[in-house]
């Protein structure tokens, strides 16, 4: 389909795409957001749904009034919509609402295994810190290697499973890297893991907003993702997994809503998912997430992925011709979401980010993107040399949403070309500015 069709189809659905921001020359310019991997702006349909629901806002599972009954019905029926969106079997799985993906993984790490430190969790070198650090508290953690291009090594996965001789209870991998955009071969990972008796958790924070996910087809045991990365603010995340898993043990947070019966000497826990949703639920966040899912379904996830892939290809082709631009992990015919990491030789990544914002109104992310071991691996930095690590190596990350367009990329290319051609000027100007900001 033509570019103009997608531009008009998607861009007008988003709040704030024409917002003006000030830049260094004293003028204002239409803001460009290329930091969608961190947080996306909301769909207009999401805000409309919030306003439509607001008059009915009430307590969930805690009242017999009509508004409370309406709110409770919306809240519970939303789970079916969530499960259906990711192809989960609603007869076997439950959807637990949390604040975000990080909380979802922490919750699962506290609930999953009875033996804990005797159990092994396999993470990988390409994980976000949120799919690494929570496992370290309760389990022995080992890491699946990545190849020189930063892609997961399936041979390493199988070697680790063999080495631990049945002690691996979970393989916890990202669905798509927040650094490189690589989409992992989830079905193959699941096939290998299940062969050795291990379950699979997919961190879907970067995957679910950009491509079609089907837990049943890909044999995913646990899936986590966040609404704020899929055009739905208000602070909701989702943990999906087998209901029977959450029937065991005590919840990690206890209090209102988690119990069926309490005396001073006895506690009977509620059934999942209520057992793991302590306190008053975030119904506004759930309403927002459901509205975003309905919009994404209408647009079609495959069409969204196709359009975003075209943005990536256009960006890579344009950036390749700029001198001193170093692009990372841009192999063709590799499944990916809409992320392009790069550096400019001789210009620190923080300075590049500042210039883009202040000179062209473009928002990107720079640094290690909460994936420091992976960044160091890609940059070929000695992970044991703390002095080098303290120098804060990193990259600049462009991450697209469905509403971004080619004219925004052209603006990015224009300013990056200027930086490349005038390095000394910009380094002098912004190094001083950053040092003053640090004070």
Residues with catalytic annotation?
370
Q: What is the DSSP string of 200-259?
A: EEEE-TTTTTTS---HHHHT-SEEEEEGGGTT--SS-EEEEEEHHHHHSS--SS-STTSE
Residue 168's H or E segment, with its range, is: strand 168-174
User: How many CB atoms sit inside 10 A of residue 328's CB?
Assistant: 17
Residue 59 CB-density burial (10 A; 0-12 exposed, 13-18 middle, 19+ buried): middle
Contact 46, 75 (CB under 8 A): no
CB of 360 closer than 8 Å to CB of 328: no
What six digits make up the tokens of 281? Answer: 């639920």
Question: 259-262 and 267-269 as β-strands: parallel, antiparallel, unpaired?
Answer: antiparallel
Instruction: Put the strands of the sheet holding 325-327 in their side by side order.
Output: 325-327, 339-344, 395-399, 365-367
Q: For residue 415, give every residue at least 6 positions away whose Cβ sits within 8 Å of its Cβ, in sequence order, or none.
A: 355, 356, 359, 360, 362
Residue 255 to residue 275: CA distance in whole angstroms: 9
Sequence-ordered list of residues with C-beta below 8 angstroms from that of 209, at least 6 positions apart, any chain: 40, 225, 229, 230, 231, 296
Tokens standing for residue 225: 């993702």
Widest pairwise Cα distance in the chain: 74
Q: Are strands 20-22 and 28-30 parallel, antiparallel or unpaired?
A: antiparallel
Do you find a cis peptide bond into 271, omega within 30 degrees of 0?
no
- The residue to which tokens 């209870």 are assigned: 169
């Amino acid at each position: 389909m033509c570019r103009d069709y997608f531009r008009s189809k998607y861009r007008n659905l988003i709040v704030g795409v024409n917002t003006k921001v000030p830049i260094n020359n004293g003028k204002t310019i239409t803001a460009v957001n290329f930091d969608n991997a961190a947080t996306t702006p909301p769909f207009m349909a999401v805000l409309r749904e919030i306003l439509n629901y607001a008059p009915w806002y009430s307590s969930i599972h805690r009242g017999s009034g009509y508004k409370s009954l309406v709110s409770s019905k919306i809240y519970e029926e939303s789970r079916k919509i969530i499960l259906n969106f990711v192809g989960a079997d609603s007869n076997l799985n439950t959807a637990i609402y949390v604040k975000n993906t990080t909380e979802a993984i922490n919750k699962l790490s506290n609930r999953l295994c009875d033996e804990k430190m005797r159990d092994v969790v396999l993470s990988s070198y390409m994980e976000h810190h949120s799919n690494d650090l929570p496992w370290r508290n309760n389990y022995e953690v080992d890491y699946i290697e990545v190849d020189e291009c930063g892609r997961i090594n399936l041979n390493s996965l199988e070697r680790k499973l063999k080495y631990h001789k049945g002690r691996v209870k979970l393989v916890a991998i990202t669905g798509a890297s927040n650094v490189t955009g690589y989409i992992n071969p989830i079905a193959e990972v699941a096939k290998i893991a299940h062969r050795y008796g291990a379950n699979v958790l997919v961190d879907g924070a970067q995957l679910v907003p950009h491509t079609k996910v089907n837990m049943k087809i890909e044999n995913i045991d646990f899936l986590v993702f966040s609404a704020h990365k899929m055009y739905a603010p208000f602070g909701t995340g989702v943990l999906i997994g087998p209901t029977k898993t959450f029937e065991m043990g005590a919840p990690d947070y206890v209090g209102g809503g988690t119990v069926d019966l309490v005396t001073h000497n006895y506690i009977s826990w509620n059934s999942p998912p209520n057992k793991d949703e302590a306190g008053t639920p975030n119904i506004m966040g759930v309403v927002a997430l459901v509205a975003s899912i309905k919009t994404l379904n209408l647009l079609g996830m495959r069409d969204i992925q196709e359009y975003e892939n075209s943005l990536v290809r256009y960006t890579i082709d344009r950036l390749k011709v700029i001198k001193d631009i170093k692009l990372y992990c841009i192999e063709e015919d590799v499944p990916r979401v809409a992320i392009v990491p790069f550096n400019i030789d001789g210009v620190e990544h923080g300075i590049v980010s500042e210039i883009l914002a202040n000179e062209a109104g473009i928002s990107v992310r720079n640094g290690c993107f909460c994936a420091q071991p992976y960044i160091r691996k890609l940059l070929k930095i000695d992970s044991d040399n703390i002095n080098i690590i303290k120098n804060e190596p990193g990259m600049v990350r462009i991450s697209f949403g469905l509403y971004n367009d080619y004219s925004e990329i052209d603006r990015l290319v224009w300013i990056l070309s200027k930086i490349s051609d005038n390095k000394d000027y910009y380094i002098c100007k912004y190094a001083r500015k950053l040092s003053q900001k640090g004070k």
